[in-house]
Amino acid sequence: MSDQSRLSRLTHAIAGSLLAVGLTGTGGCASHKHDLASDSLKNDAPYSRTFSGSGEMVCWSVKRALLSQGYMLDRPSDSGVLTGARDFQPQPKLNVTVRLQASCADNKDGTSIVFVTAIREDNRLQKMKQTTSVGVGPATLTMPSGSAQVLGVVRRETLHDPEFYSRFFSLVQGFIEQERLAEAGRSKGQTDQQSAKAGSQ
């Protein structure tokens, strides 16, 4: 067999091997592809919980839970929707904002439901080149004029961690219990006053 024939067979063998590796790699990537459709809708999503209590009591407890964790609340026109934000700075040039929106509604059966969604947004300090436009006769020239430090979004996602939502709902439940005890104390005080008045007559 001539050297040219050997070289030709070797070239074909290498090309076939590379093609096989490429197909295998493509198949591997496809099998690990993130399934957005499946992740978008789940029966066991952690974003809601039903509480015992009136809508007024539960919504007030949700507000207290947000405020107790340092969330700055917006003031939406819808009284049943609460939106808050909290900032963190885990690194000198990284700012993390967690935005949490809670909606509560009275089920009219002695219970209320709360829906919560939290979004994390990472902003990193980055250099941005600045330019200056200068008009020279009928033409306009754009020249670099330095750089500035600006915060740019590098990541934004909905938090999916069930433990995060479980801790929030536990906070809400704690404030509901406080409200229930306070309400029972007020009712007892009114009953005692009525009994005292009836006894004095």
10, pLDDT greater than 70: no
Name the residue with higher pLDDT: 172 or 125.
172
Question: How far apart (Å, rounded) are the C-alpha atoms in residues 6 and 67?
Answer: 77
Indicate the helix (H) or strand (E) that contains 190. Answer: helix 162-200
Per-residue confidence (pLDDT) for residue 146, from 0 to 100: 62
Burial class of residue 59 (count of CB atoms within 10 Å of its CB; 0-12, 13-18, 19+): buried
Which residues in 184-199 are b (16+ Cβ under 10 Å) and which e? Answer: eeeeeeeeeeeeeeee
Cβ–Cβ < 8 Å for 131, 140 = no
DSSP string of 27-50? Answer: HHHHHT---HHHHHS-TT-SSEEE
- Each residue's pLDDT tens digit, 43-94: 778 999 999 999 999 999 999 999 999 999 998 777 789 999 999 999 888 9
Give the integer Cα–Cα distance in Å for 125 and 122.
10
SS3 of 115-135: EEEEEEEEEEEEEEEEEEEEE
CA dihedral 53, 55, 57, 62 (to 10 degrees): 110
Short-list 175, 151, 180, 6, CA closest to 102: 175
Residues 113/103, Cβ–Cβ less than 8 Å: no
How far apart are the C-alpha atoms of 167 and 85, rounded to whole Å?
17
Window from 1-5, 109-113, 154-158 with minimum mean pLDDT:
1-5
Closest CA to 54 of 102, 104, 103, 110: 110
> Domain residue spans in the chain?
44-124+150-183
Q: Which two tokens stand for residue 51?
A: 């509480």
> Which of 2-6, 123-127, 177-181 ranks highest by mean pLDDT?
177-181
Given pLDDT bands bounded at 50, 70 and 90, which one contains residue 151? confident
- Please tell me the class of the 44-124+150-183 domain: alpha beta
125 pLDDT higher than 80:
yes
> Are 99 and 85 a contacting pair, CB within 8 Å?
yes
